[in-house]
């Protein structure tokens, strides 16, 4: 196939994409693990595009859990046909696609062994990884704040008008990944956002953004406030065990909003893995580059991200069997991340929220 780069027009990219899918092929469209709205919406859009332009039957799948309340509400209200991977038989599919992730990132279920012999599609707005070039179609990197932006352009160029349900999913994917066009946004994102808003069900968007929350959520929030520690402009927090891994990035987002904070870094443990989320609100620094350096010390881990946000997933060592040992492992990661920001080792920590005796 012709080599794609960011100078290749959207029209050419869509034509190349459609050329690698044969009539009668069935496609398995996969999000990253514990999918967020951008990954879900982009996968849904690719499925609809292949369905309408190639007559392709598609199934949407994910690994991990659909944990964050907003994400569950999005799937429920928009009736997105998302199926857990453990219910899938790969033998049923000739085409597999990765959305909002790439083959070597490691935060998805489609390992190289599982997809051998199948046509691979990879579409992601994060920076390009070498192995993505091995796919039959790869469109990765570029000036997009969300993968949903890229898929919105694909649909427009292909002459496919999204249904209100799909438009709402894509709109919310862009809205959430760019924080209402306030984070790492491009002209392409602004166009897609404006294009979709005319056919988006805004009352549904409001319901997705304000779901009912389980009581356990507030327990974790209290734990985060109690445990967070500040080192100058860096806030670090070990949540310990969490009931869903999405609580780690959500907590990092919240802590970053505190006055005087440039970096927020949060770790939590879920089913034997350490989840790490990094946020930075200064464009002179890159969370993606920071985790790219730190992950080198954890060869079995995976990492990804870009300027303002990034994450890692690190399995516990077989030697880390006690609760105290697991706590030390998480805190070592936090320390390495904090020092990687340029923090002086001699800086003394302070509590994020001091306890006041006069509080009722």
Per-residue pLDDT of the chain (360 residues; tens, 9 = 90+): 445 666 789 999 999 999 999 989 999 999 999 999 999 999 999 999 999 999 999 999 999 999 889 999 999 999 999 999 999 999 999 999 999 999 888 789 998 889 899 999 999 998 888 888 889 999 998 889 999 999 999 999 999 999 999 999 999 999 999 988 887 789 999 999 999 999 999 999 999 999 999 899 999 999 999 999 999 999 999 999 999 999 999 999 999 999 999 999 999 999 989 999 999 999 899 998 999 999 999 988 988 888 888 999 999 887 788 889 999 999 999 999 999 999 998 999 999 986 555 555
What is the rounded end-to-end Cα distance, in angstroms, of the chain? 68
Handedness of CA 220, 225, 231, 235 (dihedral sign): positive
Q: Would you state the structure tokens that stand for residue 258, as one six-digit string?
A: 């505190």
Nearest to 191 by CA among 217, 171, 218: 171
Using CA atoms, how far apart are residues 227 and 52, in angstroms rounded to an integer?
Answer: 50
Q: Where in the chain is the domain with CATH 3.10.310.40?
A: 216-347
User: Tens of pLDDT along 298-317?
Assistant: 988 988 888 888 999 999 88
The class that CATH gives domain 216-347 is alpha beta
Please name the residues in contact with 277: beta carbons below 8 A apart, sequence gap of 6 or more: 248, 249, 251, 252, 264, 265, 266, 309, 310, 311
Confirm or reject CATH 3.90.25.10 for domain 10-209, answering yes or no.
no
Q: Where in the chain is the domain with CATH 3.90.1640.10?
A: 10-209
Q: What is the DSSP letter of 112?
A: H
**Dist CA 278 CA 3 (whole Å):** 33
CA–CA dist 148, 166 (Å, integer): 11
Distance of CA 244 to CAs 151, 215, 247, 275, Å?
28, 13, 6, 10
Residue 82 in contact with residue 199, Cβ under 8 Å?
A: no
For residue range 43-99, what is the model confidence (pLDDT) as tens digits? 999 999 999 999 999 999 999 999 889 999 999 999 999 999 999 999 999 999 999
Distances, alpha carbon 359 to alpha carbons 61, 194, 220, 354, 356, in Å: 48, 46, 21, 11, 6
Q: How many Cα atoms within 13 Å fall on the side-chain side of residue 265?
A: 27
**pLDDT computed for residue 1 by the predictor:** 46
Q: What angle do CA 215, 218, 221 make, to 5 degrees?
A: 155
Q: At 291, phi and psi to the nearest 5?
A: -70, -30
- Closest by Cα among 329, 332, 296 to 315: 329
Instruction: Give the model's pLDDT for residue 2.
Output: 47
Task: Please name the residue that has the structure tokens 């105290």.
Answer: 324
* pLDDT of the residue at 5: 62
Report the distance separating Cα 279 and Cα 299, nearest Å.
Answer: 22
Rg (CA), the chain: 21
Please identify which residue in the block is written with the tokens 């898929």.
Answer: 151
Q: What is the distance between the alpha carbons of residues 216 and 225, in angstroms, rounded to a whole number?
A: 15
DSSP 134: G
Q: At what angle do helices 287-294 and 323-340 cross, to 10 degrees?
A: 130
In sequence order, the β-bridge partners of residue 69 are: none
Distance between CA 341 and CA 251 in Å, rounded? 19
Structure tokens at 139: 């469109």
């Amino acid at each position: 196939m012709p080599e794609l780069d960011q100078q290749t027009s959207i029209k050419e990219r869509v034509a190349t994409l459609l050329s690698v899918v044969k009539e009668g092929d069935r496609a398995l469209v996969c999000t990253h693990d514990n999918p967020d709205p951008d990954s879900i919406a982009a996968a849904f859009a690719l499925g609809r595009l292949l369905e309408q332009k190639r007559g392709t039957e598609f199934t949407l799948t994910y690994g991990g859990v659909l944990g964050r309340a907003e994400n569950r509400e999005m799937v429920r209200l928009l009736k997105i046909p998302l199926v857990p991977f453990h219910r899938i038989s790969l033998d049923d599919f000739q085409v597999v696609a990765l959305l909002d992730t790439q083959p070597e990132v490691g935060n998805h279920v489609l390992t190289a062994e599982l997809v051998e012999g199948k046509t691979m599609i990879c579409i992601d707005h994060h920076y390009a990884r070498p192995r993505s070039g091995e796919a039959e179609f790869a469109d990765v990197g570029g000036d997009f704040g969300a993968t949903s932006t890229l898929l919105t352009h694909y649909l427009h160029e292909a002459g496919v008008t999204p249904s209100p349900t799909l438009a709402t999913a894509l709109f919310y994917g862009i809205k959430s990944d760019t924080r209402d066009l306030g984070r790492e946004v491009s002209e392409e994102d602004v166009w897609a956002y404006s294009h979709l808003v005319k056919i988006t069900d805004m009352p549904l968007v409001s319901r997705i953004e304000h779901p009912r929350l389980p009581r356990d959520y507030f327990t974790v929030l209290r734990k985060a406030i109690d445990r967070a520690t500040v080192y100058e402009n860096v806030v670090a927090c070990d949540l310990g065990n969490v009931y869903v891994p999405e609580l780690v990035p959500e907590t990092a987002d919240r802590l970053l909003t505190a006055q005087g904070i440039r970096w927020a870094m949060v770790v939590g443990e879920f089913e034997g893995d350490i989840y790490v989320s990094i946020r930075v609100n200064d464009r002179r620094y890159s969370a993606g580059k920071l985790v790219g350096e730190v992950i080198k010390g954890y060869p079995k881990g995976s990492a990804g991200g870009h300027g303002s946000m990034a994450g890692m997933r690190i399995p516990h060592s077989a030697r880390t069997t006690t609760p105290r040992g697991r706590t030390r492992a998480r805190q070592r990661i936090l320390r390495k991340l904090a020092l990687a920001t340029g923090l002086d080792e001699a800086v003394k920590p302070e509590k994020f929220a001091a306890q006041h005796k006069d509080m009722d």
